[in-house]
Amino acid sequence: MPTNSNPLRVALVTGAGTGIGKAAAKALLSDGFSVVLTGRNLERLQKAINDIGGNESNCLAVACDVGKPEDVKALFGKLKDQFGRIDVLFNNAGMGAPAIPMDELSYEQWMNVVNSNLCGAFLCAQEAMRMMKAQSPQGGRIINNGSISAHAPRPNTAPYTATKHAITGLTKSIALDGRPFNINCGQIDIGNAATEMTERMAAGIMQADGSIKVEPRMDVDHVGQAVLQMAKLPPESNILFMTIMASKMPFVGRG
C-alpha cells in the first residue's frame, strides 16, 4: 500500500477483463493507482490482474453486471471495504447489438445494450458520486467511454449509437452536478482501438455507402495512456471531451 508520502489513489475500471478496460487498468496501475477491475467474468478479471502485473495489495477483481443496481451496490461495497475511497471511475463496460436493420431488432436486444451502456454508466457514476461526496479529501473524477459513435453512427447500430449519444448528456450532467463537490467528469471517444471487439474492422466492415472496407486500427495501449492522462489531472483541471482514434480511419470528412 502507498505510504503517507505517496497517498492512496484508487481507480475503478468497468469492463476491465479485456481490451480497452484492461489497457486502462494497466496504465493506471503503472502510475501507482490501486485498481478495482470489474466485469461479468471473474476468471477473466483475475487473469487480467496477472497480465498487468497486479497483486492482492494493489488490485481487486469483482464480478459485476453493471446494468443491475444490486450488483453495482455490492461492487462499491467491496471497493470501500478494500480501499476506503475512490478517486477515478472509468465507465468503460459496454456492448452492441447484432448489426441488422433496426426494424428487425427485438426489444430484448435493444434493452441489453441500454442496460449495459447507459444504465450501467449511470449506476456506477451514482455510487461513485456518493462516495466522492462523503470521503476526505472530497471529490474525484469520472471518465465515460463515449466512442466515435457518440458523434456519428455506423450502419445498423441504432442501440449502440443512441446510448453513446446519451453518454454525452450524462457526462455533461455529471460535470455540472459534481462541480460543487470537486467531482470532475470527462468523456473519451475512441475510434478503432485494436481489440477483440474491432477485429471485424481489420477484415472489412460496412461503410455508410454500403461498401465493405478494411479500416486501420491503433494500439489499445495508446487508449490506456489517454485515460491515464485524463485520470491524473489535478482537481482544478478537466478534459471534458477527448477523441483518440486511428489516424487513418474513415471518420473525419467523408471517409
- How many Cα neighbours within 13 Å face the side chain of 76? 21
Give Dmax over CA atoms of the chain in angstroms. Answer: 58
Among residues 188, 96, 112, 196, which one has the least CA distance to residue 150? 188
DSSP-assigned letter for residue 230: H
Q: What CA–CA distance (Å, rounded) separates 20 from 141?
A: 18
Q: Which active-site residues does the annotation give?
A: 160
Residue type, 139: G
3-state secondary structure of 200: helix
Q: Which residues of the chain have pLDDT under 50?
A: 1-4
Contacts of 218 (CB under 8 A, 6+ apart): 192, 193, 194, 244, 245, 246, 247
> pLDDT digits over 39-84, tens only?
999 999 999 999 999 999 999 999 999 999 999 999 999 999 999 9
Length of the chain: 255
pLDDT score recorded for residue 1: 39
pLDDT score recorded for residue 4: 44
Helix/strand number for the chain, H first, E second: 8, 9
Q: Give pTM, 2 decimals.
A: 0.92
Which domains does the chain carry?
10-245 (3.40.50.720)
Q: Which residues pair with 213 in a beta bridge?
A: 205
DSSP string, 13-62: EES-SSHHHHHHHHHHHHTT-EEEEEES-HHHHHHHHHHTT--TTTEEEE
- The H or E element that residue 213 is part of is strand 212-213
